[in-house]
Amino acid sequence: MVAASKNPLRRESFVEYEEATAESRVLIIMTGGTICMRRSPDGYVPATGFVDSCLAIRPSFNDCSPAKELIARTDTGEEVVLKSLRTPLTSYQKKIRYCVMEFNPLLDSSSINAKGWKKIAFTIYNNYKDFDAFIVLHGTDSLAYTSSALSFMLQNLGKPVILTGSQTPMSELQNDATDNLLGSLLIAGHFMIPEVCLFFNHELYRGNRATKVNATAFGAFQSPNCPPLATVGINTTARWDLIMRPNAIEKFRVEENLDAHVACLRIFPGILPEMVEGVLNLKNLKGLVLETFGAGNLPEDERLIRVLGEACRRGIIIVNVTQCLTGTVSPLYAPGTALGRAGVVFGHDLTSEAALTKLIWLLGKGLTDTQIRFQMSHSLRGELTEQSQTLFEHPGLSPKMESLSRLGYAIRDGDLEEIERVLAAQREWLLNEVDYAGRTPLVRDESFLSVVAPSPPSPSSPVSRDRCGAGARGAKIETVSVKHDGVRYGKGGQKGNVGVNANASGMKQQKLQTQSQSQPWWTAKLQPYRYAFR
C-alpha cells in the first residue's frame, strides 16, 4: 500500500480541479436596450452599472461567493478588468461564472447598423478563447436583424452565441428580463449549441429564423418556419436533430466586409411602376428585398415586370420573399413565374430580416452576380428551407410498414430488383401483410392485376376481400401464379391455398423454379414470381 503522504496528488488538488471543471464561463455583452433601462422624468433611459444594480442583488444570479476579476477585451483589443458573479448550483450540478461588458456609449437598437454589428462580432472574436459562450443583451426592435447578421458574419462558430432582451426593464418589479437572461445563461452554460441564437420567452430560436411579432407581449418573437432549437421549463429540452454544427475544422473568424447599399420594399395593391423604379434608381443601390403577396405574387402589370427585369440586367440583386408570417415563395402562379423570368431570386421562406442581412453580407464578399443569386436561394446557416429538401415524411412508420409500402410500389412498377431487395431485407413474409384497405401487396394495385380469384376455399382457409370488393386472400399464400404475355406460370388451387394471377407485362419469361416446402422462404427465387414457403 502506498502511504498517503507519498501520493503527489493531494485531495485538495482534486477538490480544486472539480470546482474548476464544474464552472463554465460566459461573457455577457451589454449593447443597450430596454433590459438595462431605468425610469427618469423623461421616461425610460439606458443606464450603466447593470451588474451592481440588477444582477448582484438577485439570488438567482449571485451565489454570494467571493467575487473574482476576469480579463476581457473590447472590440479594438483593449484589455479591461471586469467583476464576475457566479450562479448557484444548477440542476446539472454546475455553476456558471459570468461577467458583463458594457458598450460605451450604450446603443439604441433602433439606430444600430453594420458598424454596430461589427463591434459586437469583434468583441466576441477577441474573447473567443477565454469564454465558453457569449450572451448579447440587445434592444428588441432590431434584435432579429442583429441575430441574422451575426449568423453570417461569424464563420466556423464552435460556441454558443445567444442574443436576448426584454419588453420591460429588469429594474421593474414585473418584468420578462429576469427569465430571458437566466434562461440564456442556463443554455449558454450547459449546452453546446454552436449557432447564433435568439432566446425569448423560454424558447431558443435560430437567430436568422426569428422575427418580432408583438410589440408589447412577453412572447414578442417567433420562428414561423423553423421549430425552436430548445425550450426551457422545469427541464431544458434541446432539439439536437435541428442544431447545425461546423462541417470543417477551421479557425473561427469574422467576415467584416458588409455592403449596406440594400433596400427593402413592400408590395401593396395599386403600387405604381414609377414608385418601384424610383427605389431601384437610388444611387449605388446593389440589392433589393421585395416583400410580395402570398406565395411570391405581385400585381399583373407588364410595366412593373419590365422595371424589375431592367434592374436585374443592370446587376441589382432582387430577392423575392413573402409578406406572410409562415410559408414560402414559389413560382406557383403566373405573376410569380414572371418574376422568375425577369431575373428575380426566389428567397423561399427567408424572413425579411434574414434576406436583408444575408444580401448585405454576400454583397460585401466580392462575389459575382451569379454567385450571389445562387447563394441567396440556398441555405448557408439554416436560414431557409430549400425546395430540394423533403417536404413530407410518413410520420412514425415502422420499418415493417415502410417495407410493405416499398414492396407494393415495386410490384406496381414491375421492379424485380427492388422486390428482391425488400424481401431479402425482411425476416417476415410481407406478401401476407395488408394495407388500410385489406389488400396484400400483389392485389393493392388493380392496374397490375388481371384476375384475382381464389380456389374453392376449404373450411380451414377463409377468404376475405378488401373494402372495395376487390382481391382475395386465404389464411396463407403458398403459391403465386403469374400470367405473362398470355402464358400462365406457377400453379395454385392446392387445398387451403389461394392462387393469384398477376399481369406482369414487360417482365422476362423465365423457367419456373419450384421450391420445396421445407426450404425457408428467403431461399426462394423471385423469378418468375413463384414464392413457396411454409
Active site positions, annotated: 34
User: Do the Cβ atoms of 405 and 422 come closer than 8 Å?
Assistant: no
Q: Map 95-116 to HEC letters.
A: EEEEEEEECCCCCCHHHCCHHH
Angle at 238 between CA 224 and CA 102, to 5 degrees: 80
Helices (H), 191-345: 273-280, 302-313, 334-342
Q: What are phi and psi of 107, to 5 degrees?
A: -90, 145
**Which residues have CB under 8 Å from 399's CB, separation 6+?**
none
Angle at 220 between CA 215 and CA 225, to 5 degrees: 125
User: Do the Cβ atoms of 530 and 484 come closer than 8 Å?
Assistant: no
E-only strand ranges, 13-87: 23-30, 37-38, 45-46, 68-73, 79-86
**Which residues have CB under 8 Å from 30's CB, separation 6+?**
36, 50, 100, 101, 102, 103, 106, 137
Of 135, 153, 160, the C-alpha closest to 33 is 135
Pairwise CA distance, residues 170 & 180, whole Å: 10
The one-character DSSP state at 524 is: S
Pairwise CA distance, residues 17 & 19, whole Å: 5
Pairwise CA distance, residues 347 & 322, whole Å: 8
Of 524, 496, 256, the C-alpha closest to 365 is 256
C-alpha cell at 288: 433589393
C-alpha cell at 326: 409562415
Strand-pairing partners, residue 407, are none
Residue with cell 410498414: 401
- The DSSP string of 436-480 is TTS--GGGS-TTTEEE--PPPPPTTS--B--TTS---B-S-----
